[in-house]
Structure 1
Amino acid sequence: MSSLLAKILTPFKPNNNHHFLSIPISSTSPKTPQKNLNNQTGLINRRRAIALTTSTLATLVNAEKGSCFDFRMTVPDQTLEEAESMIRGHAQELLSVRDLIEEESWREAQRELRKSSAYLKQDVYTIIQAKPGGERPLLRKLYSQLFNNVTRLDYAARSENVAQVWVCYNNIVTALNDILSRL
Structure 2
Amino acid sequence: MLKGSRMALRSLVSVQNVTHNPPIFTCCLKPTFQSKGHMPHKVLRSNISRRIGAIAAVATIVLVKEAMFSQDIANGLEFKFATPDRRSVEEAESGVRDYAQSLLQLKDLLGSQSWKEAQKVLRRRSSNLKLDLYAVIESKPGKDRTQLRTLYANLFNNVTKLDYAVREKDVSLVWQCYENIVASYDHILSRI
Structure 1: where are the runs of 5+ without partners? 23-71
Pair 1:150-2:159 in alignment: yes
Aligned to 2:79: none
- Show structure 2 runs of 5+ residues with no match: 1-26, 45-82
Aligned to 1:40: none
Shift in CA distance, 159/18, structure 1 to aligned 2, threshold 3 Å:
closer
Question: What is the root-mean-square deviation in Å for CA atoms of aligned residues?
Answer: 2.3
- Distance verdict in 2 for CA 1:95–1:20, change over 3 Å: same
Shift of 1:99: 0.6
- Greater Rg over alpha carbons, structure: 2
Stretches of 4+ aligned residues off by more than 2 angstroms: 8-20
Amino acid at match of 1:173: V
> What residue is the counterpart of 2:122 in the other structure?
113
Q: Secondary structure at the match of 1:135?
A: helix
Amino acid at match of 2:175: W
1:150, distance to aligned residue in structure 2 (A): 0.3
2:111 maps to 1:90: no
Per-residue CA deviation, residues 31-75 of structure 1 (Å, 9 max, x unaligned), is xxxxxxxxxxxxxxxxxxxxxxxxxxxxxxxxxxxxxxxxx88xx
Distance in 2, Cα, partners of 1:163 & 1:17 = 78
Q: Where does residue 19 of structure 1 map in the other structure?
A: 41
- Give TM-score scaled by structure 1 length: 0.64
Q: For each residue in 1:63-105, what CA deviation from the matched residue of structure 2 results, as whole angstroms up to 9, or x when unmatched?
A: xxxxxxxxx88xx221111101222111101111111000001
1-structure distance, mates of 2:94, 2:39:
80
- Aligned-partner Cα distance in 2 for 1:17–1:164: 75
What is the aligned-residue identity percentage?
Answer: 46
The size of the alignment, in residue pairs, is 128
Q: CA deviation at 1:11?
A: 4.0
Equivalent position of 1:139 in the other structure: 148
Which residue number in structure 1 is paired with residue 187 of structure 2? 178
The answer as to 2:30 corresponding to 1:9 is yes
Q: Cα offset for 1:152? A: 0.2
Partner of 2:80: none
Answer yes or no: is 1:99 the counterpart of 2:108: yes
Contact between 1:14 and 1:20, CA under 8 Å: does it hold in 2?
no
| 1:156 and 1:165 in contact (8 A); partners too | yes
Query: Relative to structure 1, is the Cα distance of residues 15 and 161 closer, same or farther in structure 2, using a 3 angstrom cutoff?
Result: same
Distance 2:164 2:181 in 1: 14
Letter in structure 2 aligned against 1:19: H
- Measured in 1, the distance between the counterparts of 2:120 and 2:40 equals 68
Q: CA deviation at 1:16?
A: 4.5
**Residue type at the aligned position of 2:138:** Q
Q: 2: distance between equivalents of 1:106 and 1:146?
A: 20
Equivalent residue for 2:174, pick from 137, 141, 165: 165
Corresponding letter in the other structure for 1:95: L
